[in-house]
């Protein structure tokens, strides 16, 4: 006999689109592996996130005006929701993806 809680929604998987804009080829099954890793992230942290973009380096104009210097390359950057565009993440190639 299962216990049901009133008002509790069933867990549903959120599929995040993975875009590869890097110059290197991903290993076989890398996108499935990334999707499995994202399955462990709580749904509250993924809500509203539309895509994950894999790039060689992160070039964002907002980073040029930072007061705090950044050592090396930035491994990832979150782009919040702006007007009609959903939130998305950008992950740079630090060494290798997988």
pTM: 0.69
The average confidence (pLDDT) of the chain is 77
Mean pLDDT of 5-10: 58
Average pLDDT, integer, range 1-10 = 56
How many CB atoms are closer than 10 A to CB 28? Answer: 9
What's the rounded Cα separation, in Å, for the pair 5 and 23? 49
- Taking 60 as the threshold, does the pLDDT of residue 9 lie above it? no
| Span 10-42, pLDDT tens digits | 555 568 899 988 888 888 988 888 888 888 888
90 contacts: CB under 8 Å, gap ≥ 6: 53, 55, 58, 76, 77, 78, 79
With pLDDT > 70 as the criterion, what percentage of the chain qualifies?
Answer: 66
């Amino acid at each position: 006999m299962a216990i049901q809680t009133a008002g509790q929604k069933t867990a549903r998987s959120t599929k995040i689109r993975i875009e590869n804009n890097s110059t290197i080829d991903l290993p076989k099954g890398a996108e499935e592996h990334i999707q499995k890793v994202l399955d462990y992230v709580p749904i509250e942290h993924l809500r509203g996130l539309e895509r994950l973009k894999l790039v060689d380096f992160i070039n964002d104009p907002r980073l040029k005006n930072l007061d705090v210097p950044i050592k090396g390359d930035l491994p990832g950057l979150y782009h919040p929701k702006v007007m009609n565009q959903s939130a998305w993440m950008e992950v740079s190639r630090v060494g290798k993806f997988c």
